[in-house]
Amino acid sequence: MRFVLAVLTALLAISSPLRAEQLPQPTGRPILEISGAIGRTNAPGKAVFDLAMLESLGLQELVTTTPWTEGEQRFSGVDPRALLRAVEARGSELEARALDDYRVVVPIADFERFPVLLATRRDGRPMAIRERGPLWLVYPWATHPETGDQPYRGRAIWQLRSIVVR
């Protein structure tokens, strides 16, 4: 899978006329802003993504229960590592902020330890804000129960709006 992703990312990079220097401009409503220690931007000092741009990084699936909802949920979204590669992030942690002003620092190492997913969809449909969308950093609670406890539990930020890489 990682190989496929790498190829996808590479293809995307090639298809973009600005190549390594700039990301494409979002055409839809922006849902995520990444700033801080990043190498690629599409606005002054930051990289702005709409849903399509994010999902073009490659959709993966994660079926898991969550500590807040009942039953198994089928999430799809992007591998956060692919996203970080896409903006050429140079850092060890992410300061994530949500629409409801929740803030949390997520170590990038988490994404190596667990198959974390930056979910954009549940059951194939984009998630409404009231359903913890449009972006939810989903940990594999079902397969890695320790992620249901602190500190991981708090890192599963929903209604994610912006990320500062540092």
What is the total count of residues that contact another protein (CB under 8 A)? 13
Q: Which of 14, 29, 71, 123 touches another protein by CB under 8 A? A: 29
73 binding another protein? (CB under 8 A): no
* 8 Å CB contact between 70 and 110: no
Q: Where in the chain does DSSP place strands (E)?
A: 30-36, 46-50, 60-64, 73-78, 93-98, 103-107, 117-122, 125-126, 136-138, 160-165
Partnered with residue 104 across adjacent β-strands are 96
100 binding another protein? (CB under 8 A): yes
Residue with tokens 């293809």: 11
Q: Which of 67, 145, 151, 154 touches another protein by CB under 8 A? A: 67
159 binding another protein? (CB under 8 A): yes
Least Å from the CB of residue 4 to another protein: 34
**If you count them, how many residues does the chain have?**
166
Residues that bind another protein (CB under 8 A): 29, 67-69, 99-100, 128-132, 158-159
